[in-house]
């Protein structure tokens, strides 16, 4: 079923769940919802095992599935990014997936389009034997995601803006980031706002700030940040934190098996891959979430409009996220 069908209908969750499709934002939301429904927060660490495709072996997954739940109804095992696995390990994992014992649920995050070319998705292989959640985003799904994002930002947009983004080809993470920036300073985003954002060239200093932070160069990053904040005390934090969120997203993508940057940024992979290896997936994800949280604090007005508060937020994020590369 489509992602929003799963959200709305809340179907029963059995022994096998396959999250398929190509929108990582929706896939991660689907996984969070599955875990929320199966495991109480206070018991999650005791009943959840996670594997990534680069360190998984079928025997380890089988052993984790055999463990008894502890004070919970279910034991949950998650294997992420299975789309990057080679043919033989995929066959071995599929054999395990067909023998999930009672009291356990196996979740396979297999980011392959159900009808796409390449390896056959686990969802197609499972058919009705699994709960299949399709994270592919058509125009209707994109429009609802945009509407929900705007609602969370307490912002509105002209229908033409929603239509343009819903029909566009940008991934939903990029759409969300653009809406967060556009929602600052206005409650109704116009088509002109969207076009200006698409055509604008961001201040390169903000991106150098983000790179310096990710590299652990705190002094350089803070010097750039202070310069931009002095020139624009009320609005300077936005491009800084936006650039930082983008940089963390690039690093996080490269920590994943088979992760690749968009074509226009492919030239940066050589420099970012060693950094991504040092940081690791968990720290990269946390850094991205912290940066996004900072953007949301500004956009929603939760932080307030005091320039000193904005400067404090930038300084705190800079120092905190610079540690991830050490």
In total, the chain counts a number of residues equal to: 326
Domain ranges of the chain: 3-134, 139-199, 204-325
Top-ranked range on mean pLDDT: pick from 170-179, 261-270, 303-312: 303-312
CA atoms within 13 A on the CB side of 56: 30
The CATH superfamily label for domain 3-134 reads P-loop containing nucleotide triphosphate hydrolases (3.40.50.300)
Exposure string (b/e) for 39-57, b if CB count within 10 Å is 16 or more? beeeeeeebbbebbbeebe
pTM for the full model? 0.68
Across the range 79-93, mean pLDDT stands at 90
Instruction: Take residue 319 and report the two structure tokens written for it.
Output: 């120092």
Is residue 197's pLDDT more than 70?
no
Map residue 15 onto helix, strand or coil. Answer: coil
Model confidence pLDDT, tens digit, residues 263-294: 667 778 888 988 998 999 889 989 999 999 89
Mean pLDDT check: name the lowest of 66-80, 129-143, 195-209. Answer: 195-209
- pLDDT score for 201: 42
- pLDDT score for 313: 94
Beta bridge partners of 17: 107, 131
- pLDDT score for 180: 84
Is residue 104 a contact partner of residue 74, using CB atoms and an 8 Å limit? Answer: yes
Residue that is written with structure tokens 């891959």 in the block = 273
Across the range 225-251, mean pLDDT stands at 88
CA 290 to CA 198: how far, in whole Å? 25
With helix as H, strand as E and coil as C, how does 251-279 read?
Answer: HHHHHCCCCCCCHHHHHHHHHHHHHHHHH
Fold of 204-325: Zinc Finger, Delta Prime; domain 3 (1.20.272)
Is 204-325 in the same CATH topology as 3-134? Answer: no
Model confidence pLDDT, tens digit, residues 292-306: 989 888 878 888 888
Map residue 188 onto helix, strand or coil. Answer: strand
Residue 203 pLDDT class (50, 70, 90 cuts) = low
When the pLDDT of each residue in the chain is averaged and rounded to a whole number, the result is: 88
Map residue 101 onto helix, strand or coil. Answer: coil
């Amino acid at each position: 079923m489509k992602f929003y069908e799963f959200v709305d209908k809340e179907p029963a969750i059995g022994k096998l769940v396959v999250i398929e499709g190509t929108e990582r934002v929706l896939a991660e939301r689907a996984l969070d919802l599955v875990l929320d429904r199966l495991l109480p927060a206070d018991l999650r660490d005791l009943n959840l095992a996670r594997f990534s495709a680069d360190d998984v072996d079928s025997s380890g997954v089988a052993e984790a599935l055999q463990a008894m739940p502890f004070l919970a109804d279910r034991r949950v095992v998650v294997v992420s990014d299975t789309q990057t696995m080679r043919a033989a390990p995929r066959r071995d994992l599929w054999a395990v997936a067909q023998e999930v014992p009672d009291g356990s649920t196996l979740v396979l995050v297999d980011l392959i389009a159900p009808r796409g070319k390449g390896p056959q998705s686990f969802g197609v292989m499972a058919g009705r034997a699994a709960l299949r959640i399709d994270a592919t985003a058509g125009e209707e799904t994109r429009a609802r995601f945009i509407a929900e994002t705007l609602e969370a930002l307490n912002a509105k947009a002209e229908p033409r803006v929603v239509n343009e983004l819903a029909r566009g080809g940008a991934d939903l993470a990029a759409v969300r980031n653009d809406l967060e920036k556009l929602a600052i300073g206005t409650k109704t985003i116009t088509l002109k706002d969207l076009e200006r954002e698409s055509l604008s060239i961001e201040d390169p200093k903000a991106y150098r700030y983000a790179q310096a932070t990710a590299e652990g160069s705190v002094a350089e990053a803070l010097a750039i940040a202070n310069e931009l904040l002095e020139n624009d005390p009320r609005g300077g934090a936005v491009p800084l934190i936006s650039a930082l969120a983008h940089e963390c997203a690039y690093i996080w993508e490269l920590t994943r098996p088979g992760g690749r940057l968009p074509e226009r940024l492919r030239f940066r992979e050589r420099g970012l891959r060693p950094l991504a290896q040092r940081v690791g997936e968990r720290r990269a994800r946390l850094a991205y979430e912290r940066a996004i949280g900072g953007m949301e604090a500004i956009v929603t007005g939760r932080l307030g409009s005091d320039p000193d508060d904005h400067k404090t937020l930038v300084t705190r994020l800079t120092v905190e996220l610079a540690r991830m590369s050490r």
